[in-house]
Amino acid sequence: MPRAKQRTPELRERVLASALELLARDGVGAFTTRGLARAADTSTPAVYELFGDRAGLVREVFFAGFRLLRDRLAALVASDDSLADLLALSDGYRAFVRENPVLAEVMFSRPFSDFDPSEAERRAGAYVRELIVARVRRCVRDGVLVGDELDIAHVLVALMQGLALADNAHRLGRSRRAVERRWDLAIHALLDGLRPPR
């Protein structure tokens, strides 16, 4: 009788979920294949068989992060106010990074030397970019912002990432009030500078 298959899709999902939990709890420095196998109640060879190597596992964590961010932003309900919707998206992006600091580090800062994102990984954020571009496009179409929608979206994403990562590193201020004020200052300075001339 053939041996039951051990490397199932369910095990793969369990290992990936354990990887996300392990990263969130213990950080990048403690992320080892052996520790992950223990956390997922499986063997190290099973992890290697499922993901190839640690870089393959980090790649899947990277993809999972963008899926979670996409779901978070896609859940935002659009209103009649395109600028308010863009600000809500910025708040949602920030909340995701704040709630998932280590995962955001994997997605945006590339802390693992054995993981070098290829074109496939860079495309992982395509849906997130499309959501942001769509919200910017509405603002441009409504005459609330002026400029090239792709340029605005790129600059907005870069600003949000930088601010959110600085917030997680406690470089935006010592009090929550100061951090909130500086976040609002930066986002509004950018968007106010893109408003049509009066």
Whether residue 180 is predicted with pLDDT greater than 90 in this model: the reply is yes
Structurally, the chain folds into a number of domains equal to: 2
Write out the residue range of the structural domain in which residue 9 sits.
Answer: 1-52
Task: Please tell me whether residues 104 and 143 are part of one structural domain.
Answer: yes
Task: Please tell me whether residues 169 and 79 are part of one structural domain.
Answer: yes
Whether residue 1 is predicted with pLDDT greater than 70 in this model: the reply is no
Distance CA 24, CA 143 (A): 41
Q: Which of 74, 72, 68 is nearest to 19 (CA)?
A: 68
Residue recorded with tokens 């406690």? 170
- Say if 57 falls within a structural domain: no
Task: Please tell me whether residues 87 and 30 are part of one structural domain.
Answer: no
54-111 per-position pLDDT tens digit: 888 888 888 899 999 999 999 999 999 999 999 999 999 999 999 999 899 888 877 6
Task: Please tell me whether residues 89 and 46 are part of one structural domain.
Answer: no
pLDDT confidence tier of residue 6, bands split at 50, 70 and 90: low
Tell me the pLDDT of the chain averaged across its residues: 88
Range 17-34 average pLDDT = 88
For residue 28, what are the CA distances in angstroms to 38, 85, 111?
16, 34, 7
- Say if 20 falls within a structural domain: yes
**Residue 193 near residue 145 (C-beta atoms within 8 A):** no
Res 52: pLDDT:
86
147-175 per-position pLDDT tens digit: 999 999 999 999 999 999 899 889 999 99
**Residue 57 near residue 51 (C-beta atoms within 8 A):** yes
Task: Please tell me whether residues 42 and 90 are part of one structural domain.
Answer: no
- Say if 198 falls within a structural domain: no
Task: Please tell me whether residues 16 and 98 are part of one structural domain.
Answer: no
Task: Please tell me whether residues 89 and 148 are part of one structural domain.
Answer: yes
Q: In the listed set 52, 70, 88, which residue is the last one of a domain according to the structure? A: 52
Q: Which of 193, 85, 107 is nearest to 145 (CA)?
A: 193
**Residue 25 near residue 39 (C-beta atoms within 8 A):** no
The enclosing domain of 27 has a CATH number of 1.10.10.60
What angle, rounded to 10 degrees, do the helices at 176-193 and 149-168 form? 170
The enclosing domain of 132 has a CATH number of 1.10.357.10
**Residue 101 near residue 170 (C-beta atoms within 8 A):** no
Q: In the listed set 34, 52, 70, which residue is the last one of a domain according to the structure? A: 52
Task: Please tell me whether residues 68 and 159 are part of one structural domain.
Answer: yes
Task: Please tell me whether residues 25 and 77 are part of one structural domain.
Answer: no
Whether residue 29 is predicted with pLDDT greater than 90 in this model: the reply is no
Helices (H), the chain: 9-26, 33-39, 44-51, 54-74, 82-99, 101-108, 119-122, 126-141, 149-168, 176-193
For residue 115, what are the CA distances in angstroms to 66, 121, 145?
16, 10, 38
Task: Please tell me whether residues 108 and 168 are part of one structural domain.
Answer: yes
Task: Please tell me whether residues 46 and 71 are part of one structural domain.
Answer: no
Give whichever of 62-71, 109-118, 178-187 has the largest mean pLDDT: 178-187
Task: Please tell me whether residues 37 and 89 are part of one structural domain.
Answer: no
Dihedral (CA of 7, 10, 16, 18) sign: negative
